Amino acid sequence: MSRFLFTSESVSEGHPDKVSDQISDAILDEFLKQDPNSRVACETFVTTGLVVVGGEITSTANVDVQSLVRKVVKQIGYTKAEYMFEADSCGVLSALHAQSPDINRGVDRKEEIADPFDRIGAGDQGIMFGFACNETPELMPAAIQYAHKLVKMLADIRKECKEMTYLRPDSKSQVTLEYVDGKIARVDTALISTQHDPEPAGVSEADWQKKIAEDVINKVMKVVIPAEYIDEKTKFIVNPTGRFEIGGPHGDTGLTGRKIIVDTYGGAAPHGGGAFSGKDPSKVDRSAAYAARYIAKNVVAAGLADRCTIQVSYAIGIARPVSIFVDTHGTAANGLQDSEIQEKVEKVFDLRPAALMKNFGLNKPEGWCFQDTAAYGHFGRDIFPWEKLDKVEELKSAFK
């Protein structure tokens, strides 16, 4: 019998790095709304009372960055002066400038090319990974899914203002699963650190922390985590330092792209190193990572494997991938070889950036926006087009 523990973490929309991601993606959304051909690489830095936005833009759009930043900060919930970072009073500095023409010449080609999907080259070189497994209905690793749902439920409760009214925007979660013979046996540890108001007058710090812990365990943890994975040995940990009043950008600076493992698979799969938020879809760091997830999810949903990792690589200015790699971790069905699956994948899926933009509607999102991706994970939510399973039957047919 083999036994091991595996842990993933998530952070809420109020975490300073996620504040930065959401601002960068909101700016991207507005540029694409006005000009679908915008080229955007937007980075955000947040700290006490200050937001700094920088990066490279090529677009005909005219975006009011300051108003947009304040709108996002308000949506997240930083609306009180005591947070030391507040939507209406924080400083906003913009240092956006034009994209390098050396990069743009390979991305938006001016010469005549017969196939329109070959006219847009990859925005950079790099490697991207996608992953899927059958641990959850979303075909995502269970630990990261539960971790996301914990902080998402905390945020929903906070915004409803009906209970746990002491909650503040910043929070983190962590879930440790115990596996036996490769299958989830139980939740070993569930951890939440949540920012909160000071204890009310007349209430001791110990009693206040006890109330917060009981609320979080009973109203969040035991609601999100399936009961069959909880036993008498499961450990529930809330605010292990005993106090979490100072948080958000006042407690820590935030930067776009600093939560790449939270954004993807919680460490259950490799990562190519490229961040997502603030990048337009010509940047394959983003669009190809979405495509790799799309492929992996359809492979697993088609019953070709229980687990699937996809790697793709690109060269700047070249439309077609340099390489495609498939690894089913020894779980391929009916004696299939990974090389066979890879051969079919290359025929079924078009991984050129222009094809990805069209297939997923990345230049003109409908029913979703890039800001939606910037908290609680880029994968595992059906609102995103790269989560669709429209290639399952084609893959099944390919293998008869």
Which residue ranges are tagged as binding site for L-methionine? 56, 99, 252, 283
- Say how far apart CA 136 and CA 226 lie, in whole Å: 11
| φ, ψ dihedrals at 264, nearest 5° | -115, -100
Q: 198 near 168, Cβ under 8 Å?
A: no
| φ, ψ dihedrals at 320, nearest 5° | -80, 145
- Say how far apart CA 328 and CA 296 lie, in whole Å: 9
- Say how far apart CA 143 and CA 132 lie, in whole Å: 13
Alpha-helix runs per DSSP H in the chain: 16-34, 65-76, 101-107, 142-160, 205-216, 222-224, 248-251, 260-263, 284-301, 338-348, 353-360, 370-373, 392-398
Residue from 342, 278, 348 nearest 308 by CA:
342
Q: Binding site residues for ATP, as ranges?
A: 15, 170-172, 243-244, 252, 258-259, 275, 279
- Say how far apart CA 336 and CA 343 lie, in whole Å: 12
Q: How many CB atoms lie within 10 A of CB 104?
A: 18
Residue from 95, 80, 221, 90 nearest 164 by CA:
221
Q: Binding site residues, as ranges?
A: 15, 17, 43, 56, 99, 170-172, 243-244, 252, 258-259, 275, 279, 283
Q: Which residues pair with 8 in a beta bridge?
A: 175
- Alpha carbons within 13 angstroms on the beta-carbon side of residue 252 total 17
Residue from 336, 295, 280, 257 nearest 31 by CA:
280
Length of the chain: 400
- Say how far apart CA 159 and CA 257 lie, in whole Å: 25
Q: Binding site residues for Mg(2+), as ranges?
A: 17
- Say how far apart CA 361 and CA 380 lie, in whole Å: 18
Q: 46 near 249, Cβ under 8 Å?
A: yes
Q: Binding site residues for K(+), as ranges?
A: 43
| φ, ψ dihedrals at 181, nearest 5° | 55, 40
